[in-house]
Homo-oligomer: A and B are copies of this chain.
Amino acid sequence: MLIVQKYGGTSVAGTQRIKAVAARAVRCRREGNDVVVVVSAMAGETDRLIGEAMKINESPVERELDLLLSSGERISAALTSMAIHALGEKSISFTGRQVGIVTDSVHTKAKIEKISAERVKEAIAEGFIPVIAGFQGITEPASDVTTLGRGGSDLTAVAVAAALKADLCEIYTDVEGVYTADPNVVKTARKLDKISYDEMLELASLGAKVLQARSVEFAKKYSVPLVVRSSFNDAPGTLVVKEDSAMEEVVVSGVACDKNQTKITIQGVPDKPGIAAKLFKTVADNSVVVDMIVQNVSPDGKTADISFTVPKADTKRGVEIARSIAFELGAKNVATNENIAKVSVVGVGMRTHSGVAARMFETLSNHNINILMISTSEIKISCVIDMKYSELAVRELHEVFGLGGV
């Protein structure tokens, strides 16, 4: 088998952990597999570098931030390659550029445009264990360094796995897999043996943190089988694969909670067609990713409130855009709420089972939790609520949908 193993920040935090990662890669190799390793920066390193940057310039140029942040993964890659070599296997490190990962030029959250992986293929053919610095690519033709956003090393791993037509992409982290809810919040949370790409996608984008959402999309698109598992033990982890009929029998697979969003509301917008389109085009042009959108028309029908959520890191930019649009439209005010949480229930079984939404709203209502925004897809229902109720809501939903297992 050709296996791509991706190790996250806690898995490579320090020389002892890096040696353990090398040992696992070497073991897999000696079991007869071809192995490619993708590494993140050591845990805390990216935040440390961002902290240094902020001390120097509160609004650093993003191109420079990318050069800065890409260093963390390069360090991990070089050290991991040395560690594999110390165990007697041939190994060679590659940067994003050397793997041929070409991205657009949206610094700090670049999208992969193509990946050649030529040198990786050659290295495998020559018996090396290639170790790839995750999270990074370069632009063409300028050849500037870009990074792929938080969790971008997952994307590197999946993209490399797709380019190599790997049999499996293992995502090593500090948890044993994907759970029905955050085990820190819900004591009875269970590890899932298997989950569909679509469910994982909802859970990832909902803040389940074990896998970056874009990497799941990529894996689904190119049918790369994923396993999420721990680098600290040999537990089998959670397989993320195509949906099968058995999965549909389970109505709700998991409950997720995302506290990393800000709600921005433009109040008193004159209710004319095309306003929302204009607002969200401007937001998108600024590479701010909007998650939920709600528009309420006032009782007199003349003005509307438009609310949307953005990642907390984009709050400042989101508010600036909202203000400029509000001014242009003659809206009354822009309000911000950072104390929100988005709680979601996810499951492919929802496609065939009804009543999930009603049951969710009822559960929240039973505990006097006010719902601020709602959004739904075929396989999930999300409610934005006051952040202080988030743990309560997750626990109760987990219970109500019978996720606690036996």
Q: Which residues of chain A have a CB within 8 Å of any CB of chain B?
A: 15, 18-19, 49, 52-53, 55-58, 60-61, 63-65, 67-68, 70-72, 74-75, 77-79, 81-83, 85-86, 91-93, 95, 97-98, 143-145
Identify 8 residue pairs between A and B in the complex whose beta-carbon atoms are under 8 Å apart, listed by A's number.
A53-B82, A61-B91, A64-B79, A64-B93, A65-B82, A67-B74, A67-B77, A67-B78
B74 A57 Cβ-Cβ under 8 A? no
Known contacts A97-B143, A145-B95: A60-B82 contact under CB 8 Å:
yes
Contacts of A71 in B (CB 8 A): 71-72, 74-75
Q: CA separation between A95 and B67, bound complex, in Å?
A: 9
A53 B79 Cβ-Cβ under 8 A? yes
Q: Is the interface of A mostly helix, strand, loop or mixed?
A: helix
Known contacts A95-B145, A145-B95: A15-B55 contact under CB 8 Å:
yes
B77 A60 Cβ-Cβ under 8 A? no
Q: CA separation between A370 and B71, bound complex, in Å?
A: 49
B61 A85 Cβ-Cβ under 8 A? yes
Known contacts A15-B52, A49-B75, A67-B93: A82-B61 contact under CB 8 Å:
yes
From B49, B57, B75, B77, A83 is in contact (CB under 8 Å) with B57
Closest 10 CB pairs of A and B: A68-B78, A57-B86, A57-B82, A71-B71, A15-B55, A67-B78, A60-B82, A64-B78, A56-B83, A64-B81
Contacts of A68 in B (CB 8 A): 74-75, 78-79, 82
Q: CA separation between A52 and B76, bound complex, in Å?
A: 10
Q: How far apart are A63's CB and chain B's nearest CB, in angstroms? A: 7
Q: CA separation between A65 and B82, bound complex, in Å?
A: 8
Contacts of A60 in B (CB 8 A): 82, 85
From B19, B57, B67, B93, A56 is in contact (CB under 8 Å) with B19
Q: CA separation between A72 and B71, bound complex, in Å?
A: 8
From B75, B81, B85, B143, A98 is in contact (CB under 8 Å) with B143
Contacts of A72 in B (CB 8 A): 71
Q: CA separation between A331 and B146, bound complex, in Å?
A: 57
**New contact pairs (6) apart from A56-B79, A56-B82, CB-CB < 8 Å:** A53-B78, A53-B79, A57-B82, A68-B74, A68-B79, A98-B144
Contacts of A55 in B (CB 8 A): 15
Q: How far apart are A391's CB and chain B's nearest CB, in angstroms? A: 37
Q: CA separation between A217 and B165, bound complex, in Å?
A: 51
Closest chain B residue, CB of each to CB of A83: B56
A61 B74 Cβ-Cβ under 8 A? no
Q: CA separation between A134 and B72, bound complex, in Å?
A: 18
Contacts of A15 in B (CB 8 A): 52, 55-56
Contacts of A74 in B (CB 8 A): 67-68, 70-71
Most buried by B among A58, A77, A85: A85
B93 A79 Cβ-Cβ under 8 A? no
Q: CA separation between A143 and B85, bound complex, in Å?
A: 21
Q: CA separation between A67 and B65, bound complex, in Å?
A: 19
Q: How far apart are A84's CB and chain B's nearest CB, in angstroms? A: 9
B85 A65 Cβ-Cβ under 8 A? no
Q: How far apart are A119's CB and chain B's nearest CB, in angstroms? A: 8
Known contacts A57-B82, A86-B56: A63-B92 contact under CB 8 Å:
yes
Q: How far apart are A151's CB and chain B's nearest CB, in angstroms? A: 21
Q: CA separation between A64 and B133, bound complex, in Å?
A: 12
